[in-house]
Amino acid sequence: MDELLQDAADRAAQYLRNLPERRVAPSDADVAQLAELGGDLPSGPMPDVEILALLDRVGSPATMASAGPRYFGFVTGGALPVTVATNVLAGAWDQNAFSPVASPVGAELERISLGWLVDILELPPESYGALVTGSQQANFCGLAAARHAVLTRSGWDVEERGLNSAPSVRIVAGAEAHATLVRAVSLLGFGRGTIELVEVDDQGRMRADALPPLDDRTVLCIQAGNVNSGAFDPAESLCAAARKANAWVHVDGAFGLWARTAPGRAHLAAGFELADSWAVDAHKWLNTPYDTGVVLLRQPEHLAAAMSLSAAYIPPAGRAPIDYTPEASRRARGIATWAALRSLGRSGVADMVERCCALAARFGARLHDGGYEVLNDVVLNQVLVAFGDDETTSRVIQAVQDDGTCWCGGTEWHGRPAMRISVSSWASTAADIDRSAEAIMRVASAAHRKGPTGRAGN
Ligand SMILES: *Cc1c(COP(=O)(O)O)cnc(C)c1O
């Protein structure tokens, strides 16, 4: 075991050392090599050291260098070094964190982490919840709690009686609601086609003046951080309207809620503390390893009621994670979350958020100065760029990914293709931004020279 773990640690360290200078996306040849890992299941065993060597030889080159400093795809935080290291120890612990009965340390680190998260995100101090796989699951949990609370007010026990004959519940969300929010609505049996979509402005913010009348059977879903533009819904006025109507407010704040931790950005996310439930990711801006999202509830008893289960062999154990999630057996996500928060402290989190925002602004300015069109107000860590007509923009995105200096994804913004840049990692530096911007502009000007059919001078 000692040799095996040493070998794994050596290979992991070597991988991370190479990461800043290798291609960000693997080459097609490296991906094709993965075939070596398949074939028929061998009839007999293979020695552990060989397993590790094979994975490293074939698997490592076929990774996306998303843990490195020039990956700007989706919204992706690189794992902080301390969390990579604690994951090694946590792997050895192999804890089942469904309950303190099964893992005292797993459950306690989750409880401590949730308290620190409530504190650093400046949410109501009585808030509590759980660590789940991501904001997809956190949106699901928040809305499940909302469903329970809103139907309980109507005298309906939804966990017992289901939705078939239940009083109707209204779901109101911005037209730019995240796809995972919409999926959570459908998983909870409301039907995504029933969502009352509220008009948004040019940055994707819900227009408070377009809000329909709310009532006490409404769940209003608002967003902290539009997944494209990084813009925030006007929480203060939306929450005030909801409070007046006794409606529930759920916040999808997967990355944007972290703005609350940085003094220079907190004003963007003002008012979100007035909501009833929040979804936020640790694997995005806190830079913990996958997979860790957080659901928090002002009144956690609604989540516990929505998730309740009982079995003779599961002893009650206070606030056990199994009572606050749809999960039973589960990883101890509290270990890396605790480690990230304990190592950064309040100021470290704020600095990381602020640094990413400043780097995003730098990225946007470089591309703007290079003559390209920045499509959003760069208020947070997200930048949207067009490189001319739609066809050229799409070609540039593909060419940037092929070039390998950095990796940026594509999206659609106001009906146009756009390159989407998200600066979310502790590892990215100003030099990485400049090097990436230069590579993008080199690729873009080549694309302009070549034109759509590869002819010069279009
Ligand atoms: C990333 C994201 C989600 C989904 O989160 P996962 O961690 O992928 O489950 C939901 N909403 C927003 C705004 C996001 O950015």
Q: Give the per-residue pLDDT at 105.
A: 98
pLDDT band at 455 (very low <50, low <70, confident <90, very high): very low
Q: How far is the CA of 73 from the centre of ligand 1 (A)?
A: 13
Predicted confidence (pLDDT) per residue in 235-273, tens digit: 999 999 999 999 999 999 999 999 999 999 999 999 999
**For ligand 1, atom 2: residue with the closest CA:** 254
C-beta separation of 136 from 295 below 8 A: no
135 within ligand 1 shell (Cβ under 6 A): yes
Q: What is the DSSP letter of 26?
A: P
254 within ligand 1 shell (Cβ under 6 A): yes
Take residue 300 and report the two structure tokens written for it: 């956690």
211 within ligand 1 shell (Cβ under 6 A): no
Percent of the chain scoring above 70 in pLDDT: 98
Q: Give the per-residue pLDDT at 317.
A: 81
Q: How far is the CA of 254 from the centre of ligand 1 (A)?
A: 5
Predicted confidence (pLDDT) per residue in 416-438, tens digit: 999 999 999 999 999 999 999 99
Take residue 225 and report the two structure tokens written for it: 């951080």
CA torsion sign for 447, 24, 412, 381 is negative
C-beta separation of 188 from 144 below 8 A: yes
75 within ligand 1 shell (Cβ under 6 A): yes
Going through 106-186 in order, the beta strands assigned E by DSSP cover: 128-132, 170-174
178 within ligand 1 shell (Cβ under 6 A): yes
Mean pLDDT estimate for the chain? 96
* DSSP state letters, 139-159: HHHHHHHHHHHHHHHTT--HH
Going through 194-315 in order, the beta strands assigned E by DSSP cover: 196-198, 218-223, 248-252, 277-281, 293-297
C-beta separation of 238 from 259 below 8 A: no
Rg (CA), the chain: 23
176 within ligand 1 shell (Cβ under 6 A): no
Place of tokens 């919204």: 75
Partners of residue 71 on adjacent β-strands: 407
* CA 336 to mean position of chain CA atoms: 16
233 within ligand 1 shell (Cβ under 6 A): no
180 within ligand 1 shell (Cβ under 6 A): yes
Q: Give the per-residue pLDDT at 314.
A: 84
**For ligand 1, atom 3: residue with the closest CA:** 135
Q: Give the per-residue pLDDT at 388.
A: 96
Predicted confidence (pLDDT) per residue in 311-350, tens digit: 888 888 888 999 999 999 999 999 999 999 999 999 999 9
pLDDT band at 395 (very low <50, low <70, confident <90, very high): very high
Name which of 147-161, 376-390, 437-451 the model is least confident about: 437-451
pLDDT band at 310 (very low <50, low <70, confident <90, very high): confident
Atom of ligand 1 nearest to the CA of 283: 7
Q: Give the per-residue pLDDT at 448.
A: 85
Q: Is the pLDDT of residue 457 over 90?
A: no
Distance CA 16, CA 80 (A): 12
C-beta separation of 286 from 425 below 8 A: no
Predicted confidence (pLDDT) per residue in 137-173, tens digit: 999 999 999 999 999 999 999 999 999 999 999 999 9
Phi (first) and psi of residue 330, to 5 degrees: -160, 155
pTM above 0.95, yes or no: yes
Distance CA 361, CA 379 (A): 8
Task: Name residues whose C-beta falls within 8 Å of residue 63's C-beta, 6 or more positions apart in sequence.
Answer: 26
C-beta separation of 287 from 260 below 8 A: no
Predicted confidence (pLDDT) per residue in 44-102, tens digit: 999 999 999 999 999 999 999 999 999 999 999 999 999 999 999 999 999 999 999 99
253 within ligand 1 shell (Cβ under 6 A): no
Phi (first) and psi of residue 336, to 5 degrees: -70, -35
